[in-house]
């Protein structure tokens, strides 16, 4: 009998899932009895499920608030990372926030992807928490390089030396992770996670034919894209928010790094624009000190450059703010515009020679050492090997390739912050070429339009959302994904910066997400929504990373609930960052 190619494609994916329907035993969570917790047993090695080895996937549920007769099922969510614990995400506010946005019609489900959080086995690089903490502390936040010197030929030897030092330090961790060879190392890639997701929705609904409803953020969009290609017949309503480029993610990290930088410069411009609009009463960087140029990018470049020769010591003598620390600091918080009032104060103080405000933020954000250094490691370093096992092998990438790539992208994209995102490339080029037995699809069944054919035939549609100036997952990635799903997806964006759309609330965008998840409604054409949340304002408390949100207009009670719930999801992100 003739079988269409797209039908063969998705049947093969379905047959890779274990046919035994697992059951879940829910009970009140120990950390918060208002939530339910359960653990799902799945095969550790999906390429050989008959060997009996198991992985244990923790789940947390925020229950639907409507009567059972009105319930729309379960909605899974994942905050990305890779390696972020989805259970904590739901427990720390995302469960309630997403439930508010979806009118309480879904059970909101978070899970810890295999290898991370409370999942077992853990993807560990060391046996003990003490070793893990020491390795994390030794991992450089960025390279000690100053973008402002890149056009100075005499600086090149210092540049090459700094990247060599950085690369060698990151390589030590890569070698340690590979040597430890955790049983989760090659069984925790995206191909395995999506099979867990299929098992989760089947167990939740008690049927092998359950469909996935999902809101995935950042690296969580990689899970969504892989699921769409592997199980297109199981796709329900899927929101992909802050699209991580699936095609680049399946290649060596030399392909991902250039893509990551596409909107960094735009985000810096937004910081400068928002700051200038509100003036000194709302933004500490609005006025340049002394004879400095008012252009913010130039000021950041000059500050980065000066720190390379004159680090600024903090008053207690514990450390000094160097180029490495400054670059990582600005790059990290550039992703979260709601933190910009505090960050502007810290950078403004640094321009005047005071490193104490920045040091205070760094100390408050730092992980505490383990109380028992001999206790088992927690898997807190899993994000680095997870990126490698999803990427193609990078061992052929040379240090000369890295130095050339960083140099050229920095100049092309006019950004002083590239080196702060360099760690995955250095890590993966030192990582073995070994990959999981079950390979990721990457974007292979998107590029050939197979996924689009199946989804279109079923009448299934995906909602893709992205900020215009996301400095981590640029709009270009979302546009590319939409082009691969031309008749089975819609792209909706919001103006401004921030990583994923929940980093700054937009009432128009969240109403679009709500309408899709409740009724399957999608706009007929691409939409661009305005921001509803202020970044700088005299009303915003500027001495905290988590100030109360301030919105830019008069909104109804229903709209305010959507806006506040968006911010609640962001706070859950920050709590697990």
* Nearest Cα residue to 370 out of 362, 361, 379: 379
Which CATH number does the domain 5-119+190-252+443-576 belong to among 3.40.920.10, 3.40.50.150, 3.40.50.1820, 2.40.110.10? 3.40.50.1820
Q: What percent of the chain has pLDDT over 90?
A: 84
- Give the DSSP letter of residue 153: G
pTM of the model: 0.94
- pLDDT the model gives residue 15: 37
Q: What does the DSSP assignment read for 332-363?
A: HHHT-GGGHHHHHHHHHHHHTT--HHHHHHHH
Residues 468 and 499: their CA atoms lie apart, in Å, by: 10
- 21 pLDDT tier (thresholds 50, 70, 90): low
- 128 pLDDT tier (thresholds 50, 70, 90): very high
User: How many residues are listed for the chain in this entry?
Assistant: 577
Q: Using CA atoms in the order 424, 252, 499, 469, what is the torsion angle rounded to 10 degrees? A: 130
Longest dimension (CA), the chain: 80
- Give the DSSP letter of residue 108: E
Tokens of 9: 């494609």
- pLDDT the model gives residue 20: 60
Tokens of 128: 């003990």
Q: State how beta strands 320-321 and 312-313 pair.
A: antiparallel
Residues 318 and 303: their CA atoms lie apart, in Å, by: 21
- pLDDT the model gives residue 404: 94
pLDDT in tens, 307-350: 999 999 999 988 999 999 999 999 999 999 999 999 999 999 99
Instruction: Give buried/exposed letters for 298-310 (b at 16+ CB in 10 A, else e).
Output: ebbbbbbbbbbee
User: Which value, in Å, is the radius of gyration of the alpha carbons in the chain?
Assistant: 23
- pLDDT the model gives residue 290: 72
**Chain centroid offset of residue 136 CA:** 19
Mean pLDDT of the residues in the chain? 92
pLDDT in tens, 232-245: 999 999 999 999 99
Residues 102 and 429: their CA atoms lie apart, in Å, by: 43
Residues 99 and 96: their CA atoms lie apart, in Å, by: 5
Q: Where are the domains of the chain?
A: 5-119+190-252+443-576
- 439 pLDDT tier (thresholds 50, 70, 90): very high
pLDDT in tens, 171-223: 999 999 999 999 999 999 999 999 999 999 999 999 888 999 999 999 999 99
Q: Taking residues 482-493, what's their average pLDDT?
A: 98
pLDDT in tens, 381-426: 999 999 999 999 999 999 999 999 999 999 998 888 877 789 999 9
| 6 has pLDDT over 50 | no
Contact between 305 and 146 (Cβ < 8 Å) = yes
Tokens of 236: 């329900």
- pLDDT the model gives residue 483: 97
């Amino acid at each position: 009998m003739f079988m269409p190619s797209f039908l063969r494609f998705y049947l093969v994916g379905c047959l890779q899932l274990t046919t035994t329907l697992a059951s879940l035993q829910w009970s009140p969570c120990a950390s918060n009895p208002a939530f339910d917790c359960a653990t799902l047993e799945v095969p550790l090695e999906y390429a050989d499920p008959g060997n009996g080895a198991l992985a244990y996937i923790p789940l947390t549920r925020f229950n639907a608030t409507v009567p059972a007769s009105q319930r729309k099922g379960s909605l899974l969510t994942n905050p990305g990372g890779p390696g972020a614990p989805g259970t904590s995400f739901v427990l720390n506010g995302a469960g309630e926030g997403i439930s508010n946005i979806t009118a309480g019609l879904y059970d909101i489900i978070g899970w810890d992807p295999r290898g991370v959080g409370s999942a077992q086995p853990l993807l560990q690089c060391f046996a003990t928490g003490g070793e893990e903490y020491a390795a994390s502390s030794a991992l450089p936040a960025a390279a000690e390089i100053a973008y402002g010197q890149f056009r100075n030929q005499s600086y090149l030897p210092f540049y090459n030396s700094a990247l060599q030092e950085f690369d060698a330090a990151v390589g030590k961790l890569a070698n340690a992770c590979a040597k430890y060879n955790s049983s989760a190392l090659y069984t925790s890639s995206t191909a395995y996670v999506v099979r867990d997701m299929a098992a989760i929705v089947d167990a939740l609904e008690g049927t092998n034919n359950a469909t996935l409803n999902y809101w995935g953020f950042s690296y969580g969009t990689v899970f969504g894209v892989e699921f769409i290609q592997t199980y297109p017949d199981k796709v329900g309503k899927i929101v992909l928010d802050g699209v991580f480029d699936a095609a680049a993610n399946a290649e060596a990290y030399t392909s991902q790094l250039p893509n990551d930088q596409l909107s960094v410069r735009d985000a810096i411009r937004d910081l400068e624009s928002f700051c200038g609009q509100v003036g000194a009463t709302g933004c500490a960087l609005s006025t340049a000190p002394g004879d400095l140029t008012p252009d913010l990018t130039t000021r950041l470049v000059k500050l980065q450059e000066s720190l390379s020769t004159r680090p600024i010591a903090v008053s207690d003598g514990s450390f000094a703010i160097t180029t490495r620390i400054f670059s990582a600091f600005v790059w990290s918080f550039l992703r979260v515009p709601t933190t910009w009032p505090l960050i502007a104060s810290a950078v403004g103080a640094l321009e005047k020679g005071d490193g104490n405000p920045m040091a205070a933020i760094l100390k408050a954000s730092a992980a505490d050492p383990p109380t028992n250094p001999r206790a088992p490691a927690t898997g807190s370093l899993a994000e680095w090997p997870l990126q490698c096992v999803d990427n193609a092998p990078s061992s052929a990438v040379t240090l000369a390739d890295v130095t050339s790539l960083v140099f050229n992208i920095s100049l092309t994209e006019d950004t002083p912050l590239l080196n702060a995102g360099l760690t995955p490339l250095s890590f993966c080029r030192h990582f073995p070429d070994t990959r999981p037995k079950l390979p990721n699809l990457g974007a292979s069944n998107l590029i050939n339009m197979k996924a689009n054919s199946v989804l279109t035939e079923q009448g299934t549609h995906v909602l893709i959302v992205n900020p215009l100036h996301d400095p981590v997952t640029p709009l270009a990635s979302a546009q590319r994904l939409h082009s691969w799903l031309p008749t089975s997806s819609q792209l909706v964006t919001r103006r401004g910066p921030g990583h994923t759309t929940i980093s700054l609330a937009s009432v128009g965008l969240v109403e679009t997400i709500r309408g899709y998840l409740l009724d399957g409604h999608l706009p007929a054409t691409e939409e661009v929504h305005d921001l509803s949340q202020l970044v700088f304002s005299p009303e915003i408390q500027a001495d905290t990373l988590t100030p109360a949100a301030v919105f830019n207009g008069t909104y109804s009670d229903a709209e305010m609930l959507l806006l506040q719930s968006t911010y609640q999801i962001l706070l859950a992100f920050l709590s697990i960052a």
